[in-house]
Chain A
Amino acid sequence: MSSANNHKRNTLEDEFQRRLFDAEARPAPDLWARIDHDLTVQENKDYKKRALFYRQLAAACFVLFALTGALLAYYYSGSLNQPGAQPGIAAAPATKSAAAPATVEEAMQAYATQQEEAAAMAYTYTEETATTKQATNARGTNQDGRTATAKVIKLNDGPQAGDYYNVSPGYSSYLGYTPMPGRSRGYVSGGFPGNAAGGAQGNLFAPHGNRYIQIITWESVTITFGNSAPATGQQFPVGSQSLAARPKSFAEMSEAQQASRQQAQQSVEAAQSKLAAQQPKTVEAATKSNSRWSLNLAYVPSVFEQNIGLPDPLSMPKNSANRFSLAAAGPSVNASKESFQNISAARDEFEESTQPAYSYAVEAKAGFKLKKKLKLLTGIGYSESKSRSRSNFIVRQFWTKPRSNERYELSPTTYFTSALNDGFSSDSVSVARTGDSFDTEYKYRHLTVPVGLQYEHDINKDWFVYAAAGVAANFLLESSVTASNQEVQSVNYTADDYDSPFRNVQFSGNGSVGVGKRISSNLTLALGPEVRHYFNTLVADPDKAAAPQGKPYAIGMNMSLNYQLGNSRK
């Protein structure tokens, strides 16, 4: 019977099965010794894989700590060099268009002329000026950038009305925001406008309680003298963040980092010494054949919601001493009924027209496989978050000459910019409707240090699904509010601007799920939606801002390319 279709068991099959199924044969005597050797090698290999894993984990932790430590050191060392700097509290914007400063300078010069008329009047050096010198010198010694200010005042033997001098950028509690980019000059003024007693006497620095002298600055921190002024270093008394705590926390962090680094080094050395005593060649082979490391490049286009509103003119900000409202307690606020209506209209318009703009983030990360499906990812990235709105309204600020009561207008700003602080204390403020509507773009650029976990599950040979979650430290590189109208001042803060109202370090959490495709044995492409939510508001101190603040977030599409070093799959 030789039919190809014959597949029924027959006598032949039964006979073979009966004779051979339980048959026994004697193996070679040395076969167990060979198996024993193989098992020993296998066990050593497993041990070395585990040792290698812990070595690589220690190395990854060390790199992460070193990177984080370096960034924190960079950030805090920058802050320590500016003891008077109070991030986020500053009034507002630092830069403006090139044509704008001339108006203010002319105003100042005109005022200086007026003051020169009173120059003949005797100037009495008082105790207040002595105090002023002390205060100024104290600031000057702590601030490199402001030493020039102190020196000028000292050389003049006390500030005098009408004097110009060099100052560094900052904030004026009297003028509020008085921007003038490219300038670092200040001006000394004296007396309350309309103060007959002081004006008649011509003694601007007389030691009366209602007298004061003030250094008016462009982009500057104001140094204020007199009884009514806050003490030195307490220009923003409410909620000011003490910088004294920073060196302490940094020292603690440095110690912790040092300790963790030593531990990591010790564990690495211990692992190395153990491994050196055993088969190093096997370790090399294991390293080459099954790498836990991978490289990951991610691009995340997204829409960004900055979550900042505009203040309700009828609402009462928390800090009642300074508020941006019609009832503001500044020197004077010229709030007409029309201005009030415009504020309400500007607010409604902002809420309606503000929309997320194209934003993106790019990240380069190193991946370390913790388990078969779980991966730790960390690296560095860059994000650019944008939002935009359309407006018909601008904020106009006026300053009044103390003696002549002549008003000078500062550069118009957007309502948004003005609302980032509540120390809006120029002599008068109004919100005006412009002829043409203009666009405003809000842009925030961050350097990011992400750390996250990614879980991957195979669907089949080529496809997999993933879920990822992590946190990131976002270091603000630049923030800007750019208006398309040439007349409206645009503002731009860099990482070194200590008068920036925006938070310099921002932490965020992100989550993503999606699918991935294996392009080759080492290369995978993953795609999926990603949500990134910031843990804090963009503005450093939301309680001091007139505008309501929320936590920003971004929703995007994560596209990442992953390259597995060594063998792709274990």
Chain B
Amino acid sequence: MKLFTKPKSDEDKLIEGCIAGKRDMQRLLYDLYSRKMMAVCMRYAPTSFEAEDMMQEGFVKVFANIQNFKRDCPLEFWVRRIMINTALKQLRQKSLMTVSHETEEVSNIASEGVILTGYSMDELLSMIQSLAPRYRMVFNLYAIEGYNHKEIGEMLGISEGTSKSQYSRARAILQGMLERQEKSYQEHVISQ
């Protein structure tokens, strides 16, 4: 008999309930993380429909493999990682990982001083979704998830240098988009 057992946290109870296959616990976990994960999936998927498919598959994987969760990190990180891996798998299956030739002009303007406060989240997501799949992937992983280029290279099966160059190009495209948005906004203000 253990005299000093660590009291179980709510997260532990939630995990154990999911491992036991209790549907109410699974629903609880879904309710807890579904909004954040939906936003994650929308960043990786080109459309919201595909984001929902991605999330559906991701949550099924979460519940099927939750007994393998080692609890060495917060549960949210683990769920997020599964969503990202699902996104990578889906994109790989759809053969969208090939680099498309961007027709957009690459901005040469430095990005210092960029303020995104004026943009709504939908606008920012729309900009990211408009990127080519591999650019979108590299940008998400580097700029938002915080992976370094070496890790990204291993995840995508590309070299570190390729990851860097693709990120730079994605970044330049986004800067161009922001610049054009800024110009059109200024013209709109002047005309008024």
Binding site for B on A (CB under 8 A): 1-7, 9-13, 15-17, 19-28, 31-32, 34-36, 38-39, 42-43
The answer, among A7, A21, A38, for a CB contact under 8 Å with B149, is: A7
Q: How far is the CA of A34 from the CA of B60 in the complex (A)?
A: 10
The answer, among A24, A34, A38, for a CB contact under 8 Å with B36, is: A24
Closest A residue to B149 by beta carbon equals A7
Complex interface: chain B residues within 8 A of A28 (CB)? 52
Q: Is the CB of B121 within 8 A of A20?
A: yes
Given A1-B110, A24-B36, 12 extra CB contacts under 8 A: A1-B109, A2-B108, A7-B167, A16-B124, A16-B143, A16-B144, A23-B121, A24-B38, A25-B42, A31-B56, A32-B34, A39-B63
Complex interface: chain B residues within 8 A of A2 (CB)? 106-108, 168, 172, 175
Complex interface: chain A residues within 8 A of B143 (CB)? 9, 12-13, 16-17
Q: How far is the CA of A26 from the CA of B36 in the complex (A)?
A: 9
Q: How far does the Cβ of A238 sit from chain B's closest Cβ, in whole Å?
A: 64
Closest B residue to A36 by beta carbon equals B23
Q: Is the CB of A21 within 8 A of B35?
A: no
Complex interface: chain A residues within 8 A of B115 (CB)? 15
The answer, among B36, B38, B121, B174, for a CB contact under 8 Å with A12, is: B174
Q: Is the CB of A19 within 8 A of B121?
A: yes
Instruction: Please judge, given known A-B contacts A3-B168, A17-B146, whether A27 and B175 are in contact too, CB under 8 Å.
Output: no
Q: Sort A-B residue pairs by CB-CB distance and give the 7 closest, nearest first.
A: A24-B35, A13-B143, A25-B38, A23-B39, A25-B39, A1-B110, A27-B38
Q: Is the CB of A35 within 8 A of B149?
A: no
Q: Is the CB of B168 within 8 A of A24?
A: no
26 A-B residue pairs with Cβ-Cβ distance under 8 Å, sorted by A, are A1-B110, A2-B108, A2-B175, A3-B168, A4-B165, A7-B149, A7-B167, A11-B111, A12-B111, A12-B114, A15-B114, A17-B146, A19-B116, A20-B39, A20-B124, A26-B35, A27-B34, A31-B34, A31-B52, A32-B27, A34-B56, A35-B59, A35-B60, A36-B27, A39-B23, A42-B60
Q: How far does the Cβ of B68 sit from chain A's closest Cβ, in whole Å?
A: 14
Complex interface: chain B residues within 8 A of A6 (CB)? 168, 171
Contact with A along B31-65 (1 / 0, CB 8 A): 00011101100110000000010011001100110
Q: How far does the Cβ of A49 sit from chain B's closest Cβ, in whole Å?
A: 13
Complex interface: chain B residues within 8 A of A10 (CB)? 111-112
Closest A residue to B176 by beta carbon equals A2
Q: How far does the Cβ of B102 sit from chain A's closest Cβ, in whole Å?
A: 13
Q: Is the CB of A42 within 8 A of B167?
A: no
Q: How far is the CA of A262 from the CA of B114 in the complex (A)?
A: 79
Q: How far is the CA of A19 from the CA of B126 in the complex (A)?
A: 13
The answer, among A11, A17, A35, A42, for a CB contact under 8 Å with B30, is: A35
Complex interface: chain B residues within 8 A of A7 (CB)? 142, 149, 164, 167-168
Say yes or no: is B74 at the interface (Cβ < 8 Å to chain A). no
Q: How far is the CA of A31 from the CA of B42 in the complex (A)?
A: 14
Q: How far is the CA of A22 from the CA of B121 in the complex (A)?
A: 11
Q: How far is the CA of A27 from the CA of B35 in the complex (A)?
A: 6
Complex interface: chain B residues within 8 A of A9 (CB)? 143
Closest B residue to A35 by beta carbon equals B59
Q: How far is the CA of A6 from the CA of B113 in the complex (A)?
A: 16
Interface residues of B in 169-186 (CB under 8 A from A): 169, 171-172, 174-175
Q: Which of A5, A11, A27, A34 has the largest count of B CB atoms less than 10 A from its CB? A: A27
Q: How far is the CA of A458 from the CA of B144 in the complex (A)?
A: 37
Complex interface: chain A residues within 8 A of B149 (CB)? 7
Instruction: Please judge, given known A-B contacts A11-B112, A12-B174, whether A27 and B55 are in contact too, CB under 8 Å.
Output: yes
The answer, among A13, A17, A31, A42, for a CB contact under 8 Å with B55, is: A31
Q: Is the CB of A4 within 8 A of B56?
A: no
Q: How far is the CA of A498 from the CA of B112 in the complex (A)?
A: 101
Complex interface: chain A residues within 8 A of B59 (CB)? 35
Q: How far is the CA of A34 from the CA of B38 in the complex (A)?
A: 15
Interface residues of B in 113-139 (CB under 8 A from A): 113-116, 119, 121, 124-125, 128
Q: Is the CB of A39 within 8 A of B60?
A: yes
Q: Is the CB of A38 within 8 A of B116?
A: no
Q: How far is the CA of A31 from the CA of B172 in the complex (A)?
A: 35
Complex interface: chain B residues within 8 A of A27 (CB)? 34-35, 38, 52, 55
